[in-house]
Amino acid sequence: MPVITPERLVVEETPAHIANEPDRLMWISEAGGLTQFGACIEVLQPGSRSSIKHWHSAEDEMIYVLEGEITLIEGEEETVLRPGDAATFRAGVPVGHLLENRSSKPTRCLVVGTRAAVDTITYPDLDRVCYRDRSQPDDIWTNGAGEPAPNPYEE
């Protein structure tokens, strides 16, 4: 069993929308060579969101708040989560979700999700659908009618 120390984590940084510090994904699963599920510590700066509101057809997801305060937006409902709180999202439940840091301090959450061989990710607020086949090099993006559409993360 490999021990994963903080300096071995695979880190992805993206510019935060408001704060001077970047948002971070610190991948535990990649550092350990795992393939069946992803696990990371997500650090969101004030004003940042975890993603665009979405739901998965084939992948379960869960978050556990380690530090700070984060707002879970699930469908039309909003819930403030604090350290020790968790939220789970079952595959196939057609209710979009995302996390938003509305506080004045960074938040840290453990995020875990399955990595299905094939998954459909629906972005209900954008009329976008992502078809992911992990055996293929690229995802396929369409609108709800099935017409080709751009990846909203690259717009």
pLDDT at 74 over 70: yes
pLDDT at 13 over 70: yes
Right CATH for 6-116 from 2.60.40.1120, 2.60.40.1190, 3.30.1550.10, 2.60.120.10: 2.60.120.10
pLDDT the model gives residue 2: 80
Confidence bin at 145 (pLDDT 50/70/90): very high
Domain boundaries, the chain: 6-116
pLDDT at 79 over 90: yes
Mean pLDDT of 65-85: 98
Amino acid identity, position 8: R
Is the CA virtual torsion 31, 32, 37, 41 positive or negative? Answer: negative
Mean pLDDT of 11-28: 82
Mean pLDDT of 53-76: 98
Higher pLDDT, 14 or 84: 84
Average per-residue pLDDT in the chain? Answer: 94
Mean pLDDT of 5-25: 83
Mean pLDDT of 126-154: 95
Confidence bin at 155 (pLDDT 50/70/90): confident
